[in-house]
Amino acid sequence: MSAIPSVDLQDFVSGEPLRKQKFITEIGNAFEQIGFVALSGHFLSDELVKDLYTEIKNFFNLPQETKDTYEIEGIGGQRGYTSFGKEHAKGRKEGDLKEFWHFGQYVVDNPQLEIEYPENIMVTEFEKFNTVGKETYKMLEKTAKYVLRALALHLDLEENYFDKFILNGNSILRPIHYPPIAHEPKNAVRAAAHGDINLITLLMGAIGRGLQVQNHDGEWVDAIARPDQLMINVGDMLSRLTNNKLKSTIHQVVNPPKELWGTSRYSIPFFMHPISEMPLNCLANCVDADRPKQFEDITAGDFLHERLIELGLIKK
């Protein structure tokens, strides 16, 4: 496939069986073939998107010493601010050319998870930053729930299979700032080639080109969504669960042409994670003689811990 397929979530939630099946077939085929879709009909309003971009630009424009007060030691960057160059792709030493913020889960009726998850960090400089971030988190989580329901049906599972695993899941909303490039980077790009850790990622329309997806022929394809679309991709957890039936596709954010080095780029991915106890053991109906089991049994929590070590965010 040389382009990213487009799907409309309103087909799935329409209440019309033919439209619902159309969505299931389209997104299932896309995730088997390239692992990415551009999705319209989601639950984010234009106003909410505009408000969030305003708030995150305000935050990243703060003096560095102010931003640094929001970088919390000992939690692997799971909440608050992570400064420029701290994170690197698996297998690389060079830090990515980015800084970012993490909003985490807003736990409901589960005291144990309230203890397990770090608290969200409250920004005091801007009145709307925290409320706009929370509302965006909730709308992307709702969108992801319906996408996973469609994928459950595509995989011949019960429609609500994922619901109990994503309720109060360890999901992350990550506003990212790729600052202007001042000097020739040494082996570093804005985000090196990688696969995501989680079940699925929902990326709000990035400001500035640069996201590329690697297709099955090893070619890099520009992934560009319309302003009203989310780019959604399969993560490594879902790939493991489905024995690689659904593809976790390698992607990257390349540096812009030199004449555009003076510009910032912003993007806002939502990483849909389940609760830590979710087993990622390959589904029985995804294993057969033609597709033998490719992955060892592991829980989502243990898999996440392994990957955070590989990314340099936590120490062994």
- Taking the C-alpha atoms of residue 161 and residue 119, their distance in angstroms, rounded to an integer, is 28
**CA contacts within 13 A on the Cβ side of 228:** 7
Under 8 Å between Cβ of 183 and 201? no
Enumerate domains of the chain plus CATH numbers. Answer: 6-310 (2.60.120.330)
Percent of the chain with pLDDT over 90: 63
pLDDT tens-digit profile of 78-135? 899 998 865 544 554 445 678 999 999 999 999 999 998 999 999 999 999 999 999 9
**More confident: 316 or 268:** 268
What spatial distance separates the first Cα and last Cα of the chain, rounded to whole Å?
Answer: 40
Mean pLDDT calculated for residue range 150-173: 97
Output b/e per residue, 248-278; b: 16+ Cβ within 10 A: bbbbbbbbbeeeeeeeebbbbbbbbbbbbeb
Structure-derived torsion over alpha carbons of residues 9, 33, 98, 70, reported in degrees to the nearest 10 = 50
Under 8 Å between Cβ of 136 and 52? yes
Q: How confident is the model at residue 42 (pLDDT cuts 50, 70, 90)?
A: very high
Single out the residue of 30, 42, 17 nearest to residue 145, CA to CA.
42
Show Cβ contacts of residue 93 under 8 Å, excluding neighbours closer than 6 positions: none
Under 8 Å between Cβ of 249 and 214? yes
Burial class (CB in 10 A: 0-12, 13-18, 19+), 148: buried
Given a cut of 60, whether residue 6 has pLDDT beyond it is: yes
Model pTM?
0.88
Whole-Å CA distances, 311 to 13, 160, 281, 314: 37, 32, 23, 8
| Mean pLDDT of the chain, nearest integer | 86
SS3 at position 237: helix
pLDDT tens-digit profile of 185-216? 555 545 567 778 999 999 986 544 667 777 77
